[in-house]
Amino acid sequence: MIQFMMFLVVGIIPLLFPEKIHIENRSTIFFIVSLALVTSIIFEITRQYFISKRKDTNLLLNIQLLTSVILLTPFLHLFGRINGPFFVLYLLTVMESFLNLNYVFSYLVVGIMLISTSIEFIWLVLIGEVALGFITVVGFVVRVLSLIFISAYGFVLARKTLSEEKARNQMQEYAERLKELDKQKDEFISVAAHELRTPLTAIKGYISMLLDGDVGKLSDDVGGVLNRTSLAVGRMIRLINNLLDVGRIEEGRIIYRMGYLKLSGVVETVYDEFREEAKMRGIKLTLDIQKDIKDWVYVDSDRIYEVVGNLMTNAFKYTEEGSVKMKADNKDKGFVRVEVKDTGLGIAKDDQKNLFQKYYRSKSSAGKIEGTGLGLYVTRLLVEKFGGRVGVFSQVGKGSTFWFELPLAEDAEENKRRESQMA
């Protein structure tokens, strides 16, 4: 009875505190194996104690030895006298769980144990030790029950561990594959954009030659049309630059040509560029630059031009009528701020926080208004690169205000003078 209780208690412990014993890994299975082993040893010692209290100790030990030697020779050789079959059976079960073998081995071992115990029991009864015979039988039943109990437990654990590991491996495989595909896509975009840029450069060059009067004087009408063509080409180049820049900025292999400039100058240039389009579309375009503005910044001029251009392209894209206002000030100490305010569709609150993410298109615009979802992402990357911030205020139906801030460059004028002297 004592052995039975001990066996049960030790066997049940892991079940009672599953959260204490982390059953996700193999070391737990080892723990349970050792537990089973220790339990078996205690059990066997108890059994030997009962046997040793009998008068004819030697005979009894010889009977046990004989039956075991006959039937369990291979296991005895391996594990000695102490509950060899139990341990072997347990190990086999665990191994099976891993190797997905069938149960034939387990049945075999249990069968051998059954036969060995039966012979032992009959022998004991025949020589008149009936009580000891029953102890042996009860011991056998307890052993087999615990065995099944612990084995099943181990099996479930192993299964769980295996399936979890499989799932984890699969996830990792998918992740790798996605990463690879993402890289391929980036490369494709980069190559495609690069190819697109060459003919566009030629178009841009020819147009600028025409506008410069290199091939003869143009009538005002022709000049106007060419100006608009030039605007469209400019926008296309900006779009392609965005596609190209994404990869470059992310990989940190973009060339920044840093220098000092007055941000209001960039704003004015972009304003001039969009005046024609505003006139054509009947949108009121205004420019408001704070008087005595302090706006020297240290940036790559082409890139910052792109940033302002991106905000303006967006404003015009989403505004069918009304106005677009450009504003520059340095009310915030140490920063110069540029705002582009439109009276367009506006953006829902949920969309706002995602606007500056890669490939993000707001729900209202996706599918209706074309775009790559890159403009604002590139804008953010560039502004952050130059130490600034971007943001948006918006109300659906009323319009949006996109803004960015850049830190003022200290001693910029002096540095600029030195730069030009050196050049």
Q: CA 350 to CA 249: how far, in whole Å?
A: 27
Does 205 engage in binding with other proteins (CB under 8 A)? yes
CA distances (Å), origin 365, targets 278, 317, 356: 21, 10, 15
Does 217 engage in binding with other proteins (CB under 8 A)? no
Measured from the CB of residue 198, what is the shortest distance to other proteins in angstroms?
Answer: 5
Helix-helix angle 130-211:84-99, to 10 degrees: 20
Which of 54, 248, 327, 385 is the binder for other proteins (CB under 8 A)? Answer: 248
x/- binding map, residues 27-56, to other proteins, per CB under 8 A?
------------------------------
Among 84, 7, 79, 81, CA closest to 39: 7
Which of 191, 209, 225, 258 is the binder for other proteins (CB under 8 A)? Answer: 209
Closer to other proteins by CB, 19 or 212: give it: 212
30: three-class secondary structure by DSSP: helix
Closer to other proteins by CB, 2 or 255: give it: 255
Helix-helix angle 104-126:84-99, to 10 degrees: 160
Which of 212, 220, 221, 370 is the binder for other proteins (CB under 8 A)? Answer: 212
Stated length of the chain = 423
Does 385 engage in binding with other proteins (CB under 8 A)? no
Which of 124, 142, 157, 240 is the binder for other proteins (CB under 8 A)? Answer: 240
Closer to other proteins by CB, 183 or 353: give it: 183
Does 74 engage in binding with other proteins (CB under 8 A)? no
For the chain, the distance separating the N- and C-terminal CA atoms, rounded to the nearest angstrom, is 100
Helix-helix angle 26-52:84-99, to 10 degrees: 160
x/- binding map, residues 250-279, to other proteins, per CB under 8 A?
---xxx------------------------
Task: Give the count of residues interacting with other proteins (CB under 8 A).
Answer: 23
Closer to other proteins by CB, 58 or 198: give it: 198
Does 201 engage in binding with other proteins (CB under 8 A)? yes
Q: CA 191 to CA 184: how far, in whole Å?
A: 11
Measured from the CB of residue 241, what is the shortest distance to other proteins in angstroms?
Answer: 7
Does 191 engage in binding with other proteins (CB under 8 A)? no
| CA–centroid distance for 33 within its chain | 36
| CA–centroid distance for 134 within its chain | 62
Q: CA 260 to CA 30: how far, in whole Å?
A: 68
18: three-class secondary structure by DSSP: coil
Relative to beta strand 284-289, strand 323-329 is parallel
Which of 161, 241, 264, 313 is the binder for other proteins (CB under 8 A)? Answer: 241
Closer to other proteins by CB, 204 or 389: give it: 204
Does 397 engage in binding with other proteins (CB under 8 A)? no
Interface positions with other proteins (CB under 8 A): 194, 197-202, 204-206, 208-209, 212, 214-215, 237, 240-241, 248, 253-255, 302
